[in-house]
């Protein structure tokens, strides 16, 4: 897959502290914006979110299915927003440069044309800003299953297994519970330690991360977040969050091996750090 040509983006902390605020400043923080440029960009993002990989012509046809003149006009407008423009000798950046959208292959049937799709940061920005309903998020999961295989690729199973807790991925898109998992109240719940280890594991990738590694980080966040207890006070709760996660993992061998390896890595990491402190002679 020919992905992200010339586009660089960072890990989840980079999303929270750079990409999200920058994108909100440039393209709006809600679908109720009155700024035309924000509306146009959000429309492109919505088309790519709900339809997956498209050429600019296909995007314009989705916008105006029965009006070829408008398609021609819109296609040029969409391209300009995506790739930027040069006017009066000055270059203005487009959505590709920020990294919300990436090039994903080419169409060879006509003069070679680029195909575009959302990046993982773009997907998170859409989940954060576009006020999508559950049906829309289901469509994104279908179109981007290859990009986020451990989450979107198992969406239907996860929906039934977590009783719709899958939609909490919007919490990640808002940058919440990312680097502040200390709100976990249950001292036997390892969510704080595991969330912290996710950041340790990917800390060198703040400025640059491959799409595969970012998908890995998002997936680890997603499954670790399932440990979050929202009903601690409820006596009616039949399963602890740990057992609930175990039950989900038990149904899928590859998923189980993958996540338990992460937990073992975290365990080894913390044991080693504790050993270093003990041997330092400070205690």
Binding site for DNA (CB under 7 A): 26, 36-37, 40, 55-58, 68, 71-73, 75-77, 79-81, 83, 85-88, 90, 92, 106-107, 109-114
Q: How far is the CB of 129 from DNA (least distance, A)?
A: 16
Q: Would you say 84 and 37 are in contact if contact means Cβ atoms under 8 Å apart?
A: no
Q: How far is the CB of 116 from DNA (least distance, A)?
A: 8
Q: How far apart are CA 226 and CA 235, in angstroms?
A: 19
Question: What interhelical angle do 36-51 and 20-27 show, nearest 10?
Answer: 120
Cβ nearer to DNA, comparing 37 with 261 = 37
Cβ nearer to DNA, comparing 107 with 242 = 107
DSSP class of residue 117 equals E
Cβ nearer to DNA, comparing 89 with 281 = 89
Query: Hey, is 278 helix, strand or coil?
Result: helix
Q: How far is the CB of 74 from DNA (least distance, A)?
A: 9
Q: How far is the CB of 20 from DNA (least distance, A)?
A: 17
Q: Which two tokens stand for residue 144?
A: 């981007």
Q: Would you say 125 and 23 are in contact if contact means Cβ atoms under 8 Å apart?
A: yes
Q: Which two tokens stand for residue 96?
A: 């590709």
Cβ nearer to DNA, comparing 48 with 220 = 48
Q: How far is the CB of 34 from DNA (least distance, A)?
A: 10
Q: Which two tokens stand for residue 27?
A: 């393209």
Q: How far apart are CA 52 and CA 46, in angstroms?
A: 10
Cβ nearer to DNA, comparing 77 with 213 = 77
Q: How far is the CB of 215 from DNA (least distance, A)?
A: 26
Q: How far apart are CA 210 and CA 205, in angstroms?
A: 9
**DSSP codes of every residue in 118-155:** E-HHHHHHHHHHS---HHHHHHHHHHTTTTSTTTGGGH
Cβ nearer to DNA, comparing 41 with 266 = 41
DSSP class of residue 104 equals E
Query: Hey, is 92 helix, strand or coil?
Result: strand
């Amino acid at each position: 897959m020919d992905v992200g040509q010339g586009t660089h983006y960072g890990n989840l902390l980079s999303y929270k502290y750079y990409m999200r605020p920058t994108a909100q400043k440039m393209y709006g923080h809600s679908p109720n914006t009155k700024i035309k440029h924000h509306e146009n960009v959000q429309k492109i993002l919505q088309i790519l979110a709900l339809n997956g990989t498209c050429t600019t012509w296909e995007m314009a046809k989705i916008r105006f299915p029965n009006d070829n003149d408008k398609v021609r006009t819109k296609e040029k407008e969409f391209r300009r927003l995506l790739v930027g423009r040069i006017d009066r000798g000055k270059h203005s950046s487009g959505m590709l440069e920020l990294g919300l959208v990436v090039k994903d292959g080419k169409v060879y049937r006509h003069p070679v044309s680029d195909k575009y799709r959302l990046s993982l940061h773009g997907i998170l920005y859409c989940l954060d800003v576009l006020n999508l309903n559950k049906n829309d998020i289901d469509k994104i999961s279908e179109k981007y299953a290859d990009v986020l295989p451990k989450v979107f690729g198992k969406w239907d199973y996860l929906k039934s297994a977590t009783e719709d807790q899958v939609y909490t991925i919007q919490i990640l898109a808002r940058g919440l519970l990312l680097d502040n998992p200390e709100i976990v109240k249950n001292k036997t719940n390892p969510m704080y330690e595991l969330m912290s280890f996710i950041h340790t594991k990917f800390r060198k990738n703040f400025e640059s991360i491959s799409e595969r590694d970012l998908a890995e980080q998002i997936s680890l966040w997603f499954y670790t977040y399932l440990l979050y207890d929202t009903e601690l006070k409820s006596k009616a709760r039949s399963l602890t969050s740990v057992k609930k996660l175990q039950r989900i993992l038990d149904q899928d061998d590859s998923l189980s091996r993958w996540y338990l390896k992460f937990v073992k890595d975290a365990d080894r990491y913390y044991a080693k750090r504790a050993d270093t402190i003990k041997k330092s002679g400070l205690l």
